[in-house]
Amino acid sequence: LTMERDLSMALENGELQMHLQLQVSQDETPVGAEMLMRWRRADGSSVPPDVFIPVAEATGMIVPLGRWALHQACLAWLRLDAMGTPLPLSVNVSPSQFRQPDFVAEVRAILAETGAPAAQLIFEVTEGLLIENLDATIERMHELALMGIRFSIDDFGTGYSNLAYLKRMPLYELKIDKSFIHDTPADANGRAIVQSILAMAGHLGLRVVAEGVETQAQATFLSEHGSPGMQGYLFSRPAPLNDVIALLGERN
Ligand code: G
Ligand code: G
Ligand code: G
Ligand code: MN
Ligand code: NA
């Protein structure tokens, strides 16, 4: 496939870029940012990540891409810190990347090389990670957590339905999938699901981020039900680091 071949060249050709999307608290103070990979081909066309990430997963390209993304996240954190606006950064980690035998060693090496603090990184993993080798996965999460890395379950509510694993993992956060946020506040089932996740996370002592917040009505609903962190186009779109630095600078 052309995309497969092109993707394997994209990294060395400088066609990949990491964008950042701010996460905000109820008063719209930035509290973190998610690193999101973007691929713009030499001809100027963009390939959406929900198209190329699955290809990268299937071909094993996600391993070098994920390594590069983590390295970029560390560099981004250091630049934000140098500008006086340090923010915890969330990095998406694919299941096949997480399962690489040398994943922990690689994370350690990137942290050592860049000097970025592990405690400023949040690894977003999906429930798909929990389908296979649960014991080995949880053991590896604990190993990384001991280094200071924090963990978030991305797209929470859309995958694996067994909640028993939540108690066994060193978790920091749940990210409520944007499909549920989309259904608030208009839809009664949507409201019920979001309220239930917020209540459960509260009982488990987990931080929550609501994804895909696009309307003021959604933000108001969330503020009335526990004020989780919020991420979405209502507040800021994914953007290159320089744009995010400029935006944070304007606030100060
Ligand atoms: O960034 P949105 O803009 O379109 O991302 C679409 C999907 O691609 C999401 O599921 C997101 O988690 C995934 N994604 C974006 N960037 C990365 C990345 O750096 N690594 C991995 N594994 N997934 C990513
Ligand atoms: O990693 P994850 O699957 O959570 O990726 C987040 C995805 O959500 C990215 O594709 C990002 O571009 C997208 N996104 C961020 N904010 C919004 C939003 O307000 N609405 C929608 N529909 N998508 C969003
Ligand atoms: O901001 P970014 O270039 O990462 O946008 C990713 C996708 O999300 C694009 O398809 C873009 O058209 C769409 N998008 C950007 N801003 C908004 C928005 O405010 N609302 C919605 N629904 N989609 C948006
Ligand atoms: Mn994510
Ligand atoms: Na998500």
DSSP track, 207-224: EEEEE---SHHHHHHHHT
Measured in angstroms, how far is the CA atom of residue 209 from the centroid of ligand 4? 10
Eight-state DSSP code of residue 123: E
pLDDT at residue 137, as a whole number? 95
Q: How far apart are CA 147 and CA 134, in angstroms?
A: 20
User: What tens digit of pLDDT does each residue of 61-92 get?
Assistant: 999 999 999 999 999 999 999 999 999 999 99
Closest ligand relative to 124 C-alpha = 4
State yes or no: pLDDT of 160 exceeds 80. Answer: no
pLDDT at residue 43, as a whole number? 92
Best of 40, 233, 235 for a ligand 3 pocket test (most atoms within 8 Å of beta carbon): 233
Q: Taking every pair of C-alpha atoms in the chain, what is the biggest distance, in angstroms? A: 50
- CA nearest ligand 1 atom 21, residue: 92
Specify the range with the lowest mean pLDDT, choosing from 19-23, 32-36, 124-128, 233-237. 124-128
Measured in angstroms, how far is the CA atom of residue 133 from the centroid of ligand 5? 22
State yes or no: pLDDT of 241 exceeds 80. Answer: yes
Q: Is 46 in the pocket of ligand 3 (CB under 6 A)?
A: no
CATH of domain 2-247: 3.20.20.450
Q: Taking residues 37-47, what's their average pLDDT? A: 95
ipTM exceeds 0.95: no
User: What tens digit of pLDDT does each residue of 173-183 get?
Assistant: 999 999 999 99
Q: Using DSSP bridges, classify how beta strands 30-40 and 46-47 pair: parallel, antiparallel or unpaired.
A: antiparallel
Q: How far apart are CA 229 and CA 26, in angstroms?
A: 7
Q: Is the model more confident about 33 or about 2?
A: 33
169 phi and psi angles, rounded to 5 deg: -100, 150
pLDDT at residue 141, as a whole number? 97
Atom of ligand 1 nearest to the CA of 21: 1
Number of residues that this document lists for the chain:
252
Sequence-separated (6 or more) residues with CB below 8 Å from residue 149: 107, 118, 119, 121, 122, 123
When the pLDDT of each residue in the chain is averaged and rounded to a whole number, the result is 95
Predicted confidence band of residue 101 (pLDDT cuts 50, 70, 90) = very high
Using an 8 Å Cβ cutoff, are 90 and 152 in contact?
yes
For the chain, the structural domain boundaries read 2-247
Please list every protein residue whose CB sits less than 6 Å from any atom of ligand 2.
Answer: 21, 36, 92, 124, 154-155, 178, 211-214, 231-233, 238
Atom of ligand 2 nearest to the CA of 238: 12
pLDDT at residue 1, as a whole number? 66
User: What tens digit of pLDDT does each residue of 51-65 get?
Assistant: 999 999 999 999 999
State yes or no: pLDDT of 161 exceeds 70. Answer: no
pLDDT at residue 190, as a whole number? 94
Q: How far apart are CA 91 and CA 146, in angstroms?
A: 18
